[in-house]
Structure 1
């Protein structure tokens, strides 16, 4: 797998990482034995970037990662986590020094480390990006050795553009996939110009881009694809990338003929993301070893031909753009 610079941090990371939300919670039943095996398989295959958060299973995801890394020993992969969603209500006033330090200390304990590689503010309210003192707090935490770098995870392109005005924001995590393309219009170019790493999440539109779902697919009660279908629990853009389910299913059928020989729709979707050099790493989730290895195999696909890229753009413009483009 090819590596890419992780912004201006001095690190390089493999272009496909491991998104660890699904092994924590909110994606149906979690089997820890299988989750641990998935992490081991990915690391055995050379993966070196893992993304998690303190609220994924109330720390369960972080603790599973720590367990795997302890079992393996040796050089640790780059582990990014997030903080802020433990607030009962998302207000700027909640991002105090005391709260930030408390969340970070909890993640340090969960991950069994003395310094976080990357701490991301976890989709804070838009107003937070207009409070320089919040980013000053993060600078102080770096100076104190609690974390090496910090970044933000955003919902909206506008938030990403504002965040990278702060000189020490090392990374931005944002939704980008064949069904959510706006980030590439301006933000990707600005991030690259400023040396900010870009972490792409929800690359498969919550599984829509696996091609495995049908109109009658039933999701479990504790799966956000059921309980957040209309944004009942958090931003609806996190579920199916904000695309109405039936609209997404129809668009997937138009994408199927574009899949390269001996590849899968998942691999096409991931390789499409990697076609943009502004992307530092894409973090698909995996709950089994087979899923983890299939994700990594996408990096082995050759660059997609211009005809494929044009076809994806056309499907987006005709079927998806009206539903999502200006919302996020």
Structure 2
């Protein structure tokens, strides 16, 4: 596995990380044994940067990882998150007492005495981000976390926070069909020495090897009511992706490997964290590290999937609460 630096002063980790949200059943029924087998495949592939959150299955994802760590004791860099308070209605809390209590609970579930990286999952808009940075700085000083990060924020928020306590990573959605971070955030991260961690780089399964079938989504599936996966948007999106799928097949690439290679090429400070709950899907990604696009490949991908091709917003109004919009 190729290595990339997790921020200016962070550790080196595999260029591809692992998002563990699926372990909690967000995209279909989860099975802990299947999730554990997926972690085996990650270790085998050299994927040593794992990402989870306190709210993924209300601790279920962290518990699965904690069980694996206790049994297998792999050498991995762990990231978790705090700040979302599930509803209804959903709210956000970046107060120090809340952050500390949730960190303590996460560490217990993970069987760890500290986290290498701890994100503010969503910013509490009413609370100055400088205050939050000071809280995270104290956690670093106390040895409870090694570094901190932000998720779904604007470049202006990153700059304000970084000026108080250096930020190690920013995690925002970024893929061939979600391109907003190109409008300032990727550049700000590069300028400040902050890792940019794209989540959903495979477009919530849209860039999987097999076509997505919304009619099979469980009622609990996050995509069930997502604008890009409902008609007529889904049909239009699938037409684009089907052409990309054909192009990848002609080149001998898996669809997920090609989509991930496109993300990896956008900068050495990008460390994407595709998510899955199965070892088979994880293995489909690994060819990304062997793909070297030609100028002709890039031009053809841009033709098939031009910036802004996606029909529908990446979140519905009921899902976007707490996400900072800056363009």
> TM range, normalised to the smaller chain?
0.7 to 0.9
Q: Which residue of 1 aligns with 2:253?
A: 263
Query: 1:56-71 maps to which residues of 2 (within 5 A)?
Result: 56-71=56-71
Q: Which residue of 2 aligns with 1:253?
A: 242
Asked if the contact 1:63/1:111 (under 8 Å) is kept, the reply is yes
Query: 1:220-259 maps to which residues of 2 (within 5 A)?
Result: 220-226=218-224, 228-230=225-227, 244-259=233-248
Q: Which residue of 2 aligns with 1:81?
A: 80
Asked if the contact 1:126/1:159 (under 8 Å) is kept, the reply is no
Query: 1:1-328 maps to which residues of 2 (within 5 A)?
Result: 1-73=1-73, 75-86=74-85, 88=87, 94-128=93-127, 130-154=128-152, 159-160=157-158, 163-210=161-208, 212-213=210-211, 217-226=215-224, 228-230=225-227, 244-259=233-248, 261-301=251-291, 303-314=292-303, 315-317=305-307, 319-320=309-310
Asked if the contact 2:245/2:255 (under 8 Å) is kept, the reply is yes
Q: Distance in 2 between matches of 1:174 and 1:59?
A: 21
Q: Which residue of 2 aligns with 1:234?
A: none
Q: Cα RMSD (Å) of the superposition?
A: 2.6
Asked if the contact 2:129/2:160 (under 8 Å) is kept, the reply is no
Asked if the contact 1:122/1:153 (under 8 Å) is kept, the reply is yes
Classify the secondary structure of the residue corresponding to 1:320. Answer: coil
Per-residue CA deviation, residues 277-312 of structure 1 (Å, 9 max, x unaligned), is 2443111112111112222232222x2112222233
Q: Distance in 2 between matches of 1:251 and 1:26?
A: 25
TM-score by length of 2: 0.86
Q: Which residue of 2 aligns with 1:235?
A: none
Uncovered stretches (5+) of structure 2, i.e. residues with no partner: 315-324
In structure 2, do the counterparts of structure 1 residues 34 and 87 end up closer, same or farther at CA, with 3 Å as the change threshold? Answer: closer
Per-residue CA deviation, residues 177-220 of structure 1 (Å, 9 max, x unaligned), is 00012212322122112100111101111111125335663201
Q: Distance in 1 between matches of 2:272 and 2:15?
A: 6
Per-residue CA deviation, residues 11-52 of structure 1 (Å, 9 max, x unaligned), is 111111111000122111111111101101110221111000
The offset of 1:162, in angstroms, is 5.3
Asked if the contact 1:208/1:252 (under 8 Å) is kept, the reply is yes
Q: Distance in 1 between matches of 2:77 and 2:308?
A: 39
In structure 2, do the counterparts of structure 1 residues 45 and 317 end up closer, same or farther at CA, with 3 Å as the change threshold? Answer: closer
TM-score by length of 1: 0.86
Q: Distance in 2 between matches of 1:268 and 1:210?
A: 10
Asked if the contact 2:134/2:165 (under 8 Å) is kept, the reply is no
Across the two proteins, how many residue pairs are aligned to each other? 312
In structure 2, do the counterparts of structure 1 residues 297 and 317 end up closer, same or farther at CA, with 3 Å as the change threshold? Answer: closer
Uncovered stretches (5+) of structure 1, i.e. residues with no partner: 231-238
Larger displacement relative to structure 2 (268-277 or 158-167)? 158-167
Classify the secondary structure of the residue corresponding to 2:223. Answer: helix
Per-residue CA deviation, residues 114-162 of structure 1 (Å, 9 max, x unaligned), is 111111011224455x431111111111112211111011165665565
In structure 2, do the counterparts of structure 1 residues 62 and 322 end up closer, same or farther at CA, with 3 Å as the change threshold? Answer: closer
